Amino acid sequence: MNEFSLSAWSGLIDWPMLFSEYRGTGLVMRDAALMDVVDSCRGSVAYLASPYIKNAVKPDGQWCPVRSDGAAFEAGRWAAICAVNGLTAVSPVIQAVSMMSADVGDGLCPLDQCFWADWCAPLLRACGAIVVPPIEGWRESEGVWHEVCRAVECNVPVWLLGTGAEFGEGI
């Protein structure tokens, strides 16, 4: 086990430390090409970790339904790219935004990080890999950081797609 202790909700997002600590373990693949992920994960379900909260709020920090839909659209675009290339990827962002649109009362707060982390946990546990697409804001996303930390703590491989991965390119 690595000595690096990942404190997912510590507020400390430190990708260089994570990359350094897990170098050579096969748990964190950086700048991955989509087809490498497809080849490795064929026949299993991958968890599509994409930024949400910071992409779904106005500059004043208030939730914005239009920006929320935009975050879901980006996640949906990547889920579709995965699907047409043979990878089954579930996206909690897509489902959560749809659930919030259902307007079933005051039970769902789009910015409640603890609620959504708990809600996502069974999906995260059920998946054989985590895929992080190069959507703007992924590096600063506490949610993506939390999901990646949980994955490596459970020895689940994490694939960070490189820019252009949807075109068969890596960085």
For the chain, which domains are there? 15-101+110-167 (3.40.50.10400)
Amino acid at position 122, single letter: P
> In the prediction, which pLDDT does 6 show?
46
Q: For 25-37, b where at least 16 C-beta lie within 10 A, e where not — what string?
A: eebbbbebbbebb
> In the prediction, which pLDDT does 31 show?
92
Number of H helices, E strands in the chain: 6, 5
Predicted model pTM: 0.86
Name the DSSP letter for residue 104.
-
> In the prediction, which pLDDT does 72 show?
93
pLDDT tens-digit series, residues 34-75 = 999 999 998 899 999 999 888 888 899 888 889 999 999 999
Q: What is the mean pLDDT of the chain?
A: 85
> In the prediction, which pLDDT does 38 show?
93
Residue ranges in the chain whose pLDDT is less than 70: 1-11, 103-107, 165-171
> In the prediction, which pLDDT does 9 show?
44
Show the tokens assigned to 159: 């694939």
Dihedral sign from CA coordinates of 42, 45, 46, 48 = positive
Query: What whole-number distance in Å separates Cα of residue 117 and Cα of residue 42?
Result: 26
Show the tokens assigned to 12: 């400390």
